[in-house]
Structure 1
Amino acid sequence: TAIQEDSHIIAPASTPIDEEGNILGDLIETRVEGEIVLNEKSKVTLMDLSSSMLVGVAASLIPFLEHDDANRALMGTNMQRQAVPLLRSDAPIVGTGIEKIIARDSWGAIKANRAGVVEKIDSKNIYILGEGKEEAYIDAYSLQKNLRTNQNTSFNQVPIVKVGDKVEAGQIIADGPSMDRGELALGKNV
């Protein structure tokens, strides 16, 4: 928590380290009681795991966030929250890398339960043929088409695989709303 952080000297995730996890360089930027100060590497008690740990999901979607005015960044995160799903959205040209992770963890995407080959796709289903230890199997995945959500928007799932594609377990095989090829897509590129 933020209260627990006050008693630590924290190095950012971007701090250079060697193969054994030792910090390189003598003086590094650290976070102490919310302030950025230079400290000796021997005084560091904690290190961030990821540079996106400091901000929420919506803020981590803003490219070059550290160079933005705080008020504009806050306005951008609020605008993302208000986005409605488009019929055809585009993945961002400039992204932060977190878009795929958000789409992967989304409840709107359909992921393959087991590895196999896409056998058949129709308007409402995807069929994947796989080889088990004892026998072959076919996994069927139902697509949700044009459902009404509580916010009066459309929920639609679209296949992103083709017949004959090999898929791995956990791979996204159908996009949900606000997705483009397995990536979060909140709008159109113009």
Structure 2
Amino acid sequence: LIQNQVRTGLARMERVVRERMTTQDVEAITPQTLINIRPVVASIKEFFGTSQLSQFMDQNNPLSGLTHKRRLSALGPGGLSRERAGFEVRDVHPSHYGRMCPIETPEGPNIGLIGSLASYGRVNAFGFVETPYRKVVDGQVTDEVDYLTADEEDRFVIAQANATLNDELRFSEARVL
């Protein structure tokens, strides 16, 4: 989103530079007389001042600031609106497991549209939320941790983190939930 704003600002700046190149004397042209950074700065300020995704951070205490930074929203540009979002979108989905907290969501019109990142969830370079899983090799749980997205997770059989293990780090029961 910020990349689009910078691109817009640079396009405006390019237009200003082209106009100045046609109006100024060729011998007197310098980079300082041609380039004006104000269109780029104005574009970025406009984004942070008027975007739906730009918010004042809750700074009541350090914990509320941290919680605010871990919020996930389905609203805003490219997302949903409160009016169009139906029950299916607001409900808990199996792909939220380990990624989004199913409990921490506001009441009222934003219920299910604003959520929080789960304790061990993280956002990868592509913007997908990943959750950690320990690998099981030949029935034995290893200490190797893989972070998987919801699509990658569908290719594996997973067990809950609280599944009981014996001393050899094997599942103590024949079946796990």
Same fold (TM over 0.5): no
**Structure holding more strand per residue:** 1
TM-score, normalising length from structure 1? 0.27
TM-score, normalising length from structure 2? 0.28
Greater RCO structure (CA 8 Å; 6+ sep): 1
